[in-house]
Homo-oligomer: A and B are copies of this chain.
Amino acid sequence: MNIAALLTSAGINIAVCVVLFSLYSVLRKQPGNVNVYFGQRLSSQYSRRLDQCLERFVPSPSWILKAWETSEDEILATGGLDAVVFVRILVFSIRIFSIAAVICTVLVLPVNYHGGERMHTHIPFESLDVFTIENVKEGSKWLWAHCLALYIITLAACTLLYFEYKSITNLKLVHIIGSPPNPSHFAILVRSIPWSSEESYCDTVKKFFSYYHPSTYLSHQMVYKSGTVQKLKDDAEQVCKVIRDASLENTCKPSFTQCWCSGGTTNSFKMISNEIGIDSVHGRMGYNDKHLDVRKKECPAAFVFFKNRYAALIAAQTPQSSNPMLWVTDLAPEPHDVYWSNICIPYRQLWIRKIATLVASIVFMIVFLIPVTFVQSLTQLDKLQKMLPFMTRMLKKKFVVQVVSGYLPSVILVLFLCAVPPVMMLFSAVEGSISRSGRKKSACCKVLYFTIWNVFFVNVFAGSIISQLLVFSSVTDLPTQLAKAVPSQATFFTTYVFSSGWASLAIEVMQIYPLLCNLFRRVILRIKDDSQGGSLSFPYHTEIPRILLFGFLGFTSAILAPLMLPFLLFYFFLAYLVYRNQIINVYIAKYDSGGQFWPIAHNTTVFSLIVAQVIALGVFGLKRSTVASGFTIPLLIGTLLFHQYCRQRFLPVFRSNSAKILVDMDRRDEHSGKMGDIYDHLRSAYNQSSLMQDASNQPQCFSHHEDKRNDMSSEDIEKGKEIIQKDDRPWYVNRTLSSKAVLGAK
């Protein structure tokens, strides 16, 4: 492939992008598409009517300006912490690849170009290989330039990563401190409640927690088997009726008090089943039968509420029983984040489910090699001609060659990759995650491993499945093998940036599938109602792996084939604009993982750096430059130490809240007298029936979101920031601050 073919490929993609972006800028102004492109705004009831001026049919770049101008606080308010983390990943990528692009264009590219002794032709017809490290002759003294560039890139990346991690950690803490009372802070999820023949799970939970946590236990709420909630409600109503009849006869008035230990009305009749005998009932079914029926539908899981946040954290973190398989506690997810159907999975199954999912994912990754191997063969035209002789004549046309070798492989790969996220999401659901954000995070990791393995390693070690597996059996040869393979695959990766990267952004902004659905509804079904708000939540599990994959390709190719960097940088700029636009306008943040994606991004970036260094080590070895190899090893060790440091400096914040912050928050709320309201709210927060309905068919109105993170006032944020910034001071300075905050709150 030469420069001309590369530019052809780039040209096709730019054209496609421009067309799609223009189309988007027109489509978004059409009132009919408002629920496709402004789901977020619809849900927050900002402004139903958009600007309906005459310029409706003229493409305009106004959305780009809007996306550019939005501040981080707005992103935080609209998309939650995860959206901010996502944008930060993009910002980090832009920064580091700007540095890399400058360094590599100035330092590495000329060395590569003039490294060999070959005669240079006219640049457009120059092979792309001339710009890679392959062109540098063996034993060249100029390899120090590559080593220096690697040093600069690594140091810059580590520095940026450190400050990003620090700032995101702070942001997370500020967010927690400043956020209004969240039911999930007061609740824990208890699973694997021991079965007793004498009592229902509900009673067992109540007795256990009121005995072992007497001062802090508030109430609890059982979880019922999925699908039975509605049925239970109906049954309960029926039984209530029966009881009322019965009580009239017996002249004893049943007390219909709200059962604290139940989720509302579902099993309130249990409390009075002892008062009234079976004989007195004239219903079709006795109470005890009914009672047993309810007990059968109870899961051995419950949400337990505590009087303050710190107590909930303690109960979640301390093993409750001496048998680790009983009374398993976790912090509860936010109400809208609960993945109800997984909560009832017996805890004993979870470990085997996790192993099974792991095995299934690995098998899926290996089976997927088949299409990838086929795709890879397309870039090697001579092989293809041998395999499919009838295409020989077609392949003689220059344009066809350029399309086939430059564009088609990537498109096929992208199409195949589309099937991956749903499969991984399914695996993560089977795995037994209790929260929707947890499931998404788990799927994100799986898709990430999958993508890096299938796009990078398999393409690099192209060939039969057997040979690919054998590559990994010889660990010590890995750097050399990578060093041989990566530079020659740089062309493919460059085209992959166009086809998968740029095009995917255009498709993302167009929202083709919802657009078609909407069209179908309006044109075929003739439904005019556009109040059906957007129901999509941000697909972090597909977008984060994609961005991290491009980062990975960028790091590994930076000093080997620096020609890719400008295209990559353009991709990240475009992604920055597009995703900001999508966060503001399209996706609804129904649940939030609290920035859990950042550690994934951090780890992947460090992994990318290490792979880049290992490849560089191999290349320097192949080029017989002992000095450069020697200098790379300390860099490798330094990067690993940096990773280890970050792990222990920042990661614990993402795993658990600290006593200090929670106690401060509890005190603040106690002083301001909010606790009563919070307790009232807790009773209804985890209402299984309404929340499950929410999850299945989208809610029309998001008014019960009011108490969520989204309406965190800027004052709260400032308050939190203040507390956090002072965190390294001795504690008593903070005390003064927080007591000031409390006074201020009063």
Question: A-side interface residues toward B, CB under 8 Å?
Answer: 173, 194-196, 198-199, 204, 207-208, 211-212, 313-315, 317-327, 351-352, 355, 469-470, 472-477, 641, 644-645, 648-653, 656-661, 663, 724, 727-732, 735
Give the nearest-CB partner of A173 in chain B: B322
- Inter-chain CA distance A660–B658, complex, in Å, is 23
Query: Which B residues lie within 8 Å of A475 (CB)?
Result: 472-473, 475
Closest to A732 in B: B207
CA distance A211 to B351 in the complex (A): 40
**Residue among A196, A313, A321 having the largest count of chain B Cβ atoms under 10 Å:** A321
A318 touches B211 (CB 8 A): no
With most chain B CB atoms within 10 A of its CB, the pick from A194, A317, A652, A660 is A660
Question: Which residues from chain B contact A469 at a C-beta distance below 8 Å?
Answer: 476
- Could you tell me if B199 and A324 are in contact, using CB atoms closer than 8 angstroms? no
Q: Are B656 and A319 in contact (CB under 8 A)?
A: yes
Given contacts A322-B724, A322-B727, A641-B355, contact A735 B211 (CB under 8 A): yes
Q: Which residue of B lies closest to A215 (CB)?
A: B215
Q: Which residue of B lies closest to A170 (CB)?
A: B322
CA distance A649 to B350 in the complex (A): 12
A671 CA / B218 CA spacing, docked (Å):
25
- CB-CB under 8 A for A658 and B735, given A648-B324, A648-B351: no
> Which listed residue, B198, B199, B327, B660, touches A321 by the CB 8 Å rule?
B660
**For A653, what are the chain B residues with a Cβ–Cβ distance below 8 Å?**
322, 324
A-B contact pairs, 30 of them (CB 8 A): A194-B728, A194-B729, A194-B731, A195-B730, A196-B729, A199-B732, A207-B731, A207-B735, A208-B731, A211-B735, A212-B659, A212-B663, A314-B318, A318-B656, A318-B658, A318-B659, A319-B657, A320-B660, A321-B660, A322-B724, A322-B727, A324-B649, A324-B650, A324-B651, A325-B648, A355-B641, A470-B476, A472-B475, A473-B475, A474-B474
B residues in contact with A649, CB < 8 Å: 324-325
Complex CA–CA separation, A211 to B736 (angstroms): 12
> Taking the nearest CB of chain B, how far is it from the CB of A170, in angstroms?
9
Across the interface, which residues of B come within 8 angstroms of A326, CB to CB? 728
Given A477-B473, A659-B212, decide whether A313 and B322 contact each other with a Cβ distance below 8 A: no
A670 to chain B, nearest CB (A): 13
Query: Which of chain B's residues has its CB closest to A320's CB?
Result: B659
A730 pairs with B318, CB closer than 8 A: no
- State the Cβ distance, A438 to closest chain B Cβ, in Å: 18
Query: Contact check: which of B208, B477, B658 meets A320 at CB < 8 Å?
Result: B658
List of B residues within 8 angstroms of A195 by Cβ: 730
14 more CB-based (< 8 A) A-B contacts, given A314-B318, A324-B650: A194-B730, A196-B730, A207-B732, A314-B314, A321-B658, A321-B660, A322-B658, A322-B661, A323-B728, A324-B649, A325-B648, A470-B476, A472-B475, A474-B474
